[in-house]
Amino acid sequence: MQILIADDDPVSRRLATHALAGCGADVAVVEDGHAAWKQIQERTQSTVLILDRMMPGVDGVELCRGARLLPAFPPLYILMVTSASETSDITEGLDAGADDYVIKPFKPAELKARAQVGMRMVALQESMARRLAELEQALANVKQLRGLLPMCSYCKKIRVDDKYWQQLESYLAEHSDAEFSHGICPECFPSVLDEVRNHDHRH
């Protein structure tokens, strides 16, 4: 997991980096919107983006909008940092795709706490994506028997097409994950025993 700090102010970058030390994620820093956009596009791991609202090149709102048009995996959580406390500025960032915000000058403990919320969110999204992939794989591996199966009432073979009849056991093995062990049921045992005795008697 990665935390990416995008801020053109060196003091804010140092404060954020210090606040997030030892939080359990790799911390990377970029200094403008273009570099942040490149990192977002090329990310290979879940990312919490701490994004300054006002940056040269591409501002935070534009970055949010662009990021939300990219594939959702690896997960991306966006924490917008803004020096404006006006409601309109905050809602613009949230409407553009930010998940949360913090006001400059931020308190290090608050920034860390909000970043850790983001870390939990992307970890949850990662876990859900893995579970979904496992479920899809399991469903792909399930072979189901459906429809009407013509079966001979005497030999119990299954009609596969107009000319070909297949033993029930081999048909089930091909169309399911079933494996077979062989035995003799109590109803069949007396007749099988009689056959064995008759065979021994004849020989």
Give one DSSP letter per residue of 43-105, joined into a string.
Answer: --S-EEEEEESS-SSS-HHHHHHHHTTS-S-S-EEEEEEES---HHHHHHHHHHT-SEEEESS
Q: Hey, what are 6's tokens? A: 């995008």
pLDDT bin (cut points 50, 70, 90) of residue 200 is low
SS3 content of the chain, % helix, strand, coil (to 5): 45, 15, 40
The closest of 177, 179, 175, 174 to 146, measured between CA atoms, is 175
Domains by residue range for the chain, with CATH: 2-139 (3.40.50.2300), 158-202 (no CATH)
pLDDT > 70 fraction of the chain, expressed in percent and rounded: 87
* pLDDT tens profile 119-174: 999 999 989 988 888 888 777 665 556 666 777 777 777 777 777 777 777 777 77
* pLDDT tens profile 31-43: 988 999 999 999 9
User: Pick the residue with more confidence: 92 or 162?
Assistant: 92
Contact 112, 19 (CB under 8 A): yes
Q: Hey, what are 59's tokens? A: 């501002």
The closest of 171, 170, 165, 164 to 152, measured between CA atoms, is 165
Single pTM value for the model: 0.66
